[in-house]
Amino acid sequence: MDAERAGMVDGVIRERRTTKVLADAPLPVVDARGTVEELVATAGWAPFHRVASRMHTESGALTSIVPWRFHLLDAPACRALRQVLLERGDRSKIPRMLAAATAMVQATWLPNPPRGPVTGLFEATEENMEHLAAAGAAVQNLLLAATARGVPNYWSSGGVLREPEAFGWMGIPAGQILLGAVFLFPADTGDAEVNPGSHRDRRGAPSDWSRWVELDFTR
Ligand SMILES: Cc1cc2nc3c(=O)[nH]c(=O)nc-3n(C[C@H](O)[C@H](O)[C@H](O)COP(=O)(O)O)c2cc1C
């Protein structure tokens, strides 16, 4: 076993933490496109089991079989989106994060077309569960790649960024579902407010969520 390599990987996994940066005035725009493309390329090595439906791979510009899509907004796009949201009276934290972000990644997953009437966001099939799980692995990879490069990050549910109108602005096909709006922030956050994830220290010990199995074939 290469202990040094394991230590590095474990270190990045443990170092990853939710960092929410909230700025009232826009932070200076920096060109982070190169770094973001590096993070995205690494994130794409996530495992995936089932190929995305042809409904997704045969329409639009992104034709990969992977069950996720990453839509990348650079800092100028984040600031422009902030401005429109503010003009619409958005008082949520999203505009304040868009004021601070060096980039934002709209990470979506690709549900299969439903085979009948659906209540809720998507049809509850094993295939969809696996698509969603694979997309989640890709997002976690993105966070880890960012952490390894000292890029503060935050996986948000997205709030208003889930809305059809926001998808329209960003050219995201309506059949995709937002899994997370991933904010990437500068290392120097100036006077901005910086908040941790609310559940960071509440996960318990591994023994609170894992166990060795004792087989009992009489049960
Ligand atoms: C799918 C997903 C969605 C999340 N959405 C939000 C969110 O909308 N708002 C928020 O404050 N944190 C959100 N988080 C971040 C969690 O609050 C955070 O991961 C948790 O508090 C643990 O902290 P840590 O990431 O620092 O370990 C989300 C995390 C995941 C995995």
Q: Domain of 75?
A: 18-194
Q: How many residues does the chain have?
A: 219
Note whether residue 219 is domain-resident. Answer: no
Note whether residue 200 is domain-resident. Answer: no
Note whether residue 80 is domain-resident. Answer: yes
pLDDT in tens, 189-202: 989 999 999 999 99
Crossing angle between the packed helical segments 33-43 and 126-148, to the nearest 10 degrees: 140
Note whether residue 23 is domain-resident. Answer: yes
Smallest CA separation from ligand 1 atom 27, residue: 200
Contact 69, 176 (CB under 8 A): yes
Note whether residue 137 is domain-resident. Answer: yes
CA angle 62, 67, 71 (to 5 degrees): 45
From 137, 105, 107, 97, select the one nearest 37 (Cα to Cα).
105
* CATH code, 166: 3.40.109.10
pLDDT in tens, 21-39: 999 999 999 899 999 999 9
Please, which pLDDT band fits residue 60 given cuts at 50, 70 and 90?
A: confident
pLDDT above 80 for 1 = no
Q: What is the pLDDT of residue 106?
A: 98
Contact 74, 36 (CB under 8 A): yes
Q: What is the pLDDT of residue 96?
A: 98
Q: What is the pLDDT of residue 38?
A: 98
Q: How many domains does the chain have?
A: 1
Note whether residue 42 is domain-resident. Answer: yes
Note whether residue 44 is domain-resident. Answer: yes
Q: What is the pTM of this model?
A: 0.97
Crossing angle between the packed helical segments 126-148 and 3-15, to the nearest 10 degrees: 100
Give, for ligand 1, the residue of 155, 161, 179, 203 to mutate: max count of ligand atoms closer than 8 Å to Cβ: 155
Note whether residue 36 is domain-resident. Answer: yes
Q: How far is CA 167 from the centre of its chain?
A: 15
Kindly give the number of the ligand 1 atom that is closest to the alpha carbon of 200. Answer: 23
Q: With left for phi above 0 and alpha for psi between -120 and 50, is residue 60 left, alpha or beta?
A: left
pLDDT above 70 for 144 = yes
Kindly give the number of the ligand 1 atom that is closest to the alpha carbon of 159. Answer: 8
